[in-house]
Structure 1
Amino acid sequence: MTGYAIAYHPAVHRGLIRLCGWPKNGKQAAALVAAVGTILAWVNWGLGLIVGALMAREMGRQAYFRKIPVHYPVLCAAGYAGLGLIWHYGLSASAPLLMTVEKHFLWELTGEAVIPVNMTIFSGYAIGMSVLVLLFAVGICYLLHPKPERCRGIEQYAPELIGEEAKEEKPVVVSVADKIENNRWIAILMMAIMVGSMVWWFATKGFMKGLDLNSINFIFVLIGLALYHNPIAYLRTIVRAAAVVGGIILQFPFYAGIQGVMMYSGLGVTIARWLARAATPFLWPAACWFIAGIINIFIPSGGGEWMTIGEIMTRVTNELGVPIGKTIIAYASGDAWTNLANPFWAIPLLAITRMRVRDVFGYPLTICAISMIVFFLGLTFIPY
């Protein structure tokens, strides 16, 4: 939701309008949506997903007015690509950040109380994979866009969006309570305290060990307050965010039940052990990616899945003598990968773009299938 709040800020929307004026044809439009959505998904998966959806929608609108043939479903798929290709290498990556917690749940197996982000997110291995999948996302979305005569634009899928424009809400200040809620000095005081806290935190822990899930969320709340200037405007945006992600929130208890079955029955460990049985040090990263991808279909939660199969993966890692950071990134690749085959995380995008699963998801499935080659080669041959 913190990513959503940033994505919906008027300044971000104005930036998207300018960006959407650049492409000269449909292929360039799809490539640009993929590039922006994928890069921002590395920064924060929620930010990438929402900005990707907003950009696909705005690109569809501008293409209609500029008479540029675009295929709206491909634009929507391009906006979603980052959630299946790059988010789990980035700053909101669940598994790597879980391992930065002092005495994380696997510390007795890893022998290290903290696995800092320079061994995972900021390792050469993860950065190399990030660059590789970014180039792949841009290239595949460019190639998937059909010829002009086969394009179906936003007017054929969501004509109601053509005349819809974002409006900036002006606060109505009547009572003393309204003045307090809209007072930017309160936000400035809050931000000063938050900045001081973050400076102390990173000065005490160091950047690599201090960057964890809590600090990342804290930073995004701080950015949101800085953008909106007052607490009530930020609060209203967070409330809207909760409405958009309501479909995801509703499904989480059901997936949590599946996670519980797989965790406490031993099914998840059994599947992971069976798939890991034939692994070698050379092929373990690719095997780890594939295992995570299969189990992610049943447990579409990066942190929840890692809690389920992290122990067996760490044990195999120790047996094979593979660096734990390499295994975590390989796992992260698989956890993200099959998001492209699961519409669970696409609910906000579908709501924003007014699209149906059947109209869009053939393209993410295609990207998912072709990306197998990219993940296998990258995870196997990029040095750690």
Structure 2
Amino acid sequence: MSTKVMKVPHTFVLLFALIILAVIGSYIIPAGEFDRAKDPNSGRTVVVPGTFHRVDQAPRSFFDTFIAVQKGSIDAADVVFFVFFVYASFYIVLQTGALHSFIGWLLRVLKGKEIILIPVFMYVFALGGSVFGMYEETFGFIPLFVGLAIAMGYDALVGMSMVSMAVAMGFAAAFMNPFTVGVAQKVSELPLFSGMTFRIIVWFTFVTLAVVYTLVYALKIKKDPSKSILKGMDMGALALNHDELIEKKFTIRDKIILWWVVLIIGLLVWGVIVKGWYFDELAGLFIIMGVFAGFMAGWGPSKIAVTFLEGCKDIVFGALVVGLSRGILIVMRESKIIDSIINAMAQPLSYMPKWLAAEGMLVVQTLINFFIPSGSGQAATTMPIMAPLSDLLGITRQTAVLAFQFGDGFSNILWPTTALPVICSIAKVPIDKWWKYFVPFFGWLLLAQAIFMAIAVAINLQ
């Protein structure tokens, strides 16, 4: 008797199914909107509590289901081309061999103690996510750490965890993140970065949980590679061979190229924090990095151009995933059901006891992050509702901010409408493989979040 193993649908199929669900929702969910006004404390446009009202239904048609793919790709064009330029520029760096030489040198220095790099880099990236609100800035590190993880005998999921899971934990459990904690506290009329001691404990707990989860998986697949979720996958240029790397010499030219990469990434971090740079400026920086790395390797302009196009070809799938993901939001935005969903989720909280309402806020904020994947955007939309609601329930506003912070942050590497498709694209990891790896851990994260929410209610977190 044979048993059939259920096959997970292709990523495109999963995302298109969500677009279809959104279209169906446009017929079932009543259309509605909140009024919005400029908040004097934060300077942002926020929702005006108590102003939700019905508007004319705007259901999407069968044809709109397919148009959403095109509209989503156009709406996310800055992100789509950013993915192309980041990966193609790093592809040039990879093809120079400088990164291979550096990793070979690193492996020789550590001599079997490579695993120490996992906790060290995870705590560093988590600190950046907490203090500076670092997130998109880490995209350039992903190919480097995926290659490093593979060379150390792990897989791309370990490399992704060292960068993206770590920075997401720091971002979500932040004690100083200006884009989430800062905006939410301003909208809620709380002192900036108040409650920091409690948040530092929260940060350390969640980052440590992520480090332990990554280490357990890394050790498991190092011992038995057949247990890797990515077993049999071709990682292309990111797949680095340990034995070949050990033999590579780390030349002066390699060092110059890598110092150039470090300089560009340093400039990137400075530009984002100090100058407010975003995708346009970052894409330009990565192109400069790739082109000049090619020249430093002794290549001519034509070879640089050909190599750049090879990199673009490698990442077409991932770039298209970004556009398809955005199509889900396009359908919900045009059918005016996002505010209706937020209002419907917030209303039941007012009838709950305060301990349960706090947990309910956490669940609501986690679900809302699917529809509003921007941290500051979610704060501006939900906190004007949640802050006064917390007053009515006898929950401190600081606790409401914590619920927002958790709900917005941890699901950033769960929902397909967030930056997750970009991260998976750059790492060359199918999103369904990431879910298989991350979803069990997300269950533990939810439990830990619920415990901290209960503690916040019990101590009247201020």
Match status 1:367 vs 2:452: no
Match of 2:165 among 52, 59, 81: 81
Task: Tell me: CA distance 1:49–1:267, structure 2 relative to 1, closer, same or farther (3 Å).
Answer: same
Task: Give the structure 1 partner of residue 206 of structure 2.
Answer: 133
Match of 1:218 among 274, 277, 294: 274
Q: Distance in 2 between matches of 1:153 and 1:338?
A: 21
Task: Give the structure 1 partner of residue 193 of structure 2.
Answer: 118
Query: Number of matched residues?
Result: 316
Task: Give the structure 1 partner of residue 73 of structure 2.
Answer: none
Name the stretch that deviates more: 128-137 or 149-158: 149-158
- Amino acid of the structure 2 residue aligned with 1:38: A
Task: Give the structure 2 partner of residue 57 of structure 1.
Answer: 147
Match of 1:40 among 104, 121, 128: 128
Task: Tell me: CA distance 1:98–1:237, structure 2 relative to 1, closer, same or farther (3 Å).
Answer: farther
What secondary structure sits across from 1:322 in the alignment? coil
Q: Distance in 2 between matches of 1:259 and 1:308?
A: 14
Task: Tell me: CA distance 1:330–1:53, structure 2 relative to 1, closer, same or farther (3 Å).
Answer: farther
Q: Distance in 2 between matches of 1:168 and 1:275?
A: 57
Q: Quick check: 1:72–1:153 contact (8 Å CA) kept in 2?
A: no
Deviation at 1:134, TM superposition (A): 0.9
Task: Tell me: CA distance 1:366–1:29, structure 2 relative to 1, closer, same or farther (3 Å).
Answer: farther
Q: Distance in 2 between matches of 1:278 and 1:234?
A: 50
Q: Quick check: 1:38–1:134 contact (8 Å CA) kept in 2?
A: yes
Deviation at 1:138, TM superposition (A): 0.7
Match of 1:98 among 173, 183, 205: 183
- Amino acid of the structure 2 residue aligned with 1:40: G
Q: Quick check: 1:95–1:302 contact (8 Å CA) kept in 2?
A: yes
Structure 1 runs not aligned, ≥5 long: 171-190, 196-214
Task: Tell me: CA distance 1:302–1:136, structure 2 relative to 1, closer, same or farther (3 Å).
Answer: same
Q: Quick check: 2:362–2:404 contact (8 Å CA) kept in 1?
A: yes
1:317-332 counterparts in 2 under 5 A?
317-332=390-405
Task: Give the structure 2 partner of residue 205 of structure 1.
Answer: none
| CA offsets 1:305-347 (integer angstroms, 9 cap, x no match) | 3333323211211113433233212211011222333244222
Q: Distance in 1 between matches of 2:272 and 2:192?
A: 12
Task: Give the structure 2 partner of residue 288 of structure 1.
Answer: 361
Task: Tell me: CA distance 1:159–1:271, structure 2 relative to 1, closer, same or farther (3 Å).
Answer: closer
Task: Give the structure 2 partner of residue 379 of structure 1.
Answer: 453
- Amino acid of the structure 2 residue aligned with 1:356: P
Deviation at 1:93, TM superposition (A): 4.9
Task: Tell me: CA distance 1:100–1:288, structure 2 relative to 1, closer, same or farther (3 Å).
Answer: closer
Task: Give the structure 2 partner of residue 184 of structure 1.
Answer: none
Task: Tell me: CA distance 1:254–1:278, structure 2 relative to 1, closer, same or farther (3 Å).
Answer: same
Q: Quick check: 1:50–1:348 contact (8 Å CA) kept in 2?
A: no
RMSD: 4.9
Larger Cα-atom Rg: 2
What secondary structure sits across from 2:347 in the alignment? helix
- Normalised TM-score (structure 2): 0.54
- Normalised TM-score (structure 1): 0.63
The higher-RCO structure (CA 8 Å, 6+ apart) is: 2
Name the stretch that deviates more: 47-56 or 127-136: 47-56
Q: Distance in 1 between matches of 2:202 and 2:324?
A: 33
Structure 2 runs not aligned, ≥5 long: 1-78, 94-98, 246-252, 258-266, 292-307
Deviation at 1:370, TM superposition (A): 1.4
Q: Quick check: 1:330–1:379 contact (8 Å CA) kept in 2?
A: yes
Match of 2:373 among 300, 304, 313: 300
Task: Give the structure 1 partner of residue 61 of structure 2.
Answer: none
Task: Tell me: CA distance 1:366–1:311, structure 2 relative to 1, closer, same or farther (3 Å).
Answer: same
Task: Tell me: CA distance 1:221–1:300, structure 2 relative to 1, closer, same or farther (3 Å).
Answer: closer
